Chains A and B, each alone.
Chain A
Amino acid sequence: MLNDILYGFSVALTFQNLIYCFLGVLMGTLVGVLPGLGPVAAMSLLFGATLRIPPVSGMIMLAGLYYGAQYGGSTTSILLNIPGEAASVVTCLDGYQMARQGRAGPALGISAFGSFIGGTLSVIGLMLVAPPLANFALKFGFAENFSLMCLGLVIVSFLARGSMLKALMMAAFGLFLGTIGTDIMIGTPKFTFGIKSLMDGVGLIPVIMGLFGVSEVILNVEEGVKREIFKTKISHLLPNLKEWKDSIKPIFRGTFLGFFLGILPGGGAIVSSFTSYAVEKRFSKYPEKFGTGVIEGVAGPETANNSGSTGAFVPLLTLGIPSNAVMALLLGLLLTHGVQVGPLLLKQHSDIFWGVVVSMYIGNAMLLVLNLPLIGLWVKILKVPYPILFPFILLFCIIGAYSLNNNTEDVLLMIAFGIIGYFMKKFDYEGAPLVLALVLSTMMENNLRQALLVSQGSFLIFFTHPISATLLLITIILLVYPLFPWLKVRRKLEKLEAD
């Protein structure tokens, strides 16, 4: 492993990759700071640009953007009581209260340090967990792959905010969208309606930009985004001894919790931060003080969201299964570059695996340097009113969609999904299950058809292979879980979000 790490450093420390890492984390912090543009939409904007650079550089930049956004999101949560992105929602609860008490500096400081510690330790976890998991996954055949993807979609739906049934409906719709295009076995056009650009399938990037970018903007235009920065002097960014003493255990708990939750499909930064907050409140001697400005309520979740964002790379880099919309986009990047994803990525493209993993160490260090001294700059950027910001968000979305294939049909597709996304939000449907299913659809269909060909039409193949049977059993348990309301895990998460 030491040789692999050194190899990773040799890839990540090239001048080109250092620049891309820096650009990624800088843009990620900016995206995290600016409400209205999340990491998924921002990554999709840059997708077209990453097609022109080597895949390892593209992965390093986009990965940096993702975990960088977790750092940046805490700034708006603490200063504005508006989360910069979804994983920073819980930081608003205590972080903003700390700002109101004149303690914005320690809140921002512990958030940055906790994110650094969580991000760095979870990279070590990734290095330890990923290679043996990739070796294990080499035993997977068509049935196992199909069952794993089913489990992934069900877990995403299980962990979705709101109705699990509605999340499953979006997953089913996403699976259908993924079938649009040319049949891979027979070559027949499927649901293309004679539209040439659909022969290659529905583009992932226009769908993501529409669902997460355009729809968010038009919803904000409708609701009217108003925000007021809490006027407080930001000083003493370095936490004092007592603040460190209060934060150290939440930071370590957040690291482990975030990492392992991040590995789960549907996991990642968001679930990790929510769960960490619930855990810290449970462990605290003074749970009634949560929500009034306790530093543990910032330290734990902010560590967990960074740790979770690293953990989310495990299924992607080892199994080729994206665990959330961000990973789905990175998978799309690798596939577009013709990179074989799955357990063989480690063997055949070790530069990508180890280069990305090591770049995360470097990226986390860059973020610590960026976030603390540049807090003043981020606060100035926050003052840009949304009515001035949103035209530029739309402009970047249009250029991003256009740049994919230099045609306007992708832009029209993006606008169509922007409208769909707007109505989805109005009717309380989530976009993440749809996007994940869209990405997995072709792989699922191929694995299902191949498995049935091998078994000569018998579905028992999914139950006679032990790994596949285990995965399907867990899937079935999660599907029937809502019928047993006495299992309180999901209820607690829902209550926390409602609060």
Chain B
Amino acid sequence: MNKRERDRMSTLILLVVAISICFGSVRLSLGSFHKPGPGFFSFLAGAILGSLSLIVFLKSFKGLPGEEKKAFWPNPRRTLKITYVLIALILYIIGMEYLGFFFSTLLFLGFLLRGIEPQRWLVVFVWSILGSIISYGIFKHWLGIPLPGGVVGF
């Protein structure tokens, strides 16, 4: 995919977003110029976004052919790792409510240290345990952030 193709894709998405914003704003009521309604400003923002998206979309058809193509996901295996990271993030948040901050942090760090760029097991254990203890100490005790205790209590 070259730069112009990427621009075409992104501006089409943003054009759809802009049209949705404008429709939503009209439903909120635009009011009048001397008494603008709640949808007035968001309509303006959506109209600007839509107009600029259209300009960039049309500009993407100009230019010389033969532009260098770059794969959007050059290394699909590495891109899959992003999915693992995002899943880990979501599971961590859900897990924190049940397992508590300390144990969910331990599992979270352990998974990322071993599952994404695999480190030696000793490194995984040491950094996970140390990281959980230190972050618990700093955030819970020093900064006083009320982190969830879960069923364990901490």
Contacts and interface: CB of A to CB of B under 8 A. Distances in A.
Query: Are A and B subunits of one complex?
Result: yes
Interface in A450-499: 452-453, 455-459
A188 B40 CA distance: 13
Contacts of B123: 388
A337 interface: no
A234 interface: no
B52 A224 contact: no
Nearest to B36: A449
B35 interface: yes
Interface in B93-144: 93-94, 96-97, 105, 108-109, 112-113, 116-117, 119, 123, 127, 131, 135, 139, 143-144
A224 B108 contact: no
Contacts, number: 164
B152 interface: no
A402 B14 CA distance: 30
Q: What range describes how many residues of A lie at the interface? A: 35 or more
Given A188-B38, A190-B28, A176 B131 contact: no
B86 interface: yes
A44 to B, nearest CB: 15
B151 interface: no
A176 B21 contact: yes
Given A191-B24, A418-B86, 16 more contacts: A169-B56, A172-B45, A179-B41, A221-B78, A222-B73, A391-B112, A391-B131, A395-B105, A398-B93, A411-B93, A423-B10, A428-B3, A445-B41, A448-B41, A449-B40, A449-B41
Interface in A148-172: 163, 165-166, 168-169, 172
B35 A453 contact: yes
A395 B33 contact: no
A188 B28 contact: yes
5 contacts: A52-B143, A169-B52, A175-B42, A190-B42, A218-B85
Contacts of A175: 41-42, 44-45, 48
B9 interface: yes
Interface of A: 48-49, 52, 163, 165-166, 168-169, 172-173, 175-176, 179, 183, 185-186, 188, 190-191, 214, 217-218, 221-224, 386-388, 390-392, 394-396, 398-399, 402-403, 406, 408, 411-412, 415, 418-419, 422-423, 426-429, 441, 444-445, 448-449, 452-453, 455-459
A457 B32 contact: yes
B145 A403 contact: yes
B116 A221 contact: yes
A253 B3 CA distance: 38
B144 A399 contact: no
B49 A222 contact: no
A222 B82 contact: yes
A458 B36 CA distance: 12
A452 B36 contact: yes
B150 interface: no
B34 interface: yes
A448 B79 CA distance: 44
Given A387-B116, A428-B6, A452-B33, A165 B55 contact: yes
Contacts of A386: 117
Nearest to B110: A391
Contacts of B145: 48-49, 399, 402-403, 406
B66 interface: no
B67 to A, nearest CB: 14
Contact of A426 (B44, B55, B72): B72
Interface of B: 3, 6-7, 9-10, 14, 17, 21, 24, 28, 32-42, 44-46, 48-49, 52-53, 55-56, 59, 72-73, 75, 78-79, 81-82, 85-86, 89-90, 92-94, 96-97, 105, 108-109, 112-113, 116-117, 119, 123, 127, 131, 135, 139, 143-147
B93 A448 contact: no
B139 A459 contact: no
A459 to B, nearest CB: 7
Given A399-B147, A415-B86, A388 B105 contact: no
Contact of A186 (B38, B59, B90, B96): B38
A453 B35 CA distance: 6
A314 to B, nearest CB: 27
B39 A190 contact: yes
Contacts of B113: 387-388, 391
A459 B32 CA distance: 12
Contact of B34 (A176, A190, A214, A456): A456
A440 to B, nearest CB: 12
Contacts of B135: 395-396, 399
Nearest to B7: A427
Contacts of B24: 191
Nearest to B33: A457
Contacts of B119: 387-388
B108 A176 contact: no
A186 B37 CA distance: 9
A398 B89 contact: yes
Contacts of A390: 112, 116
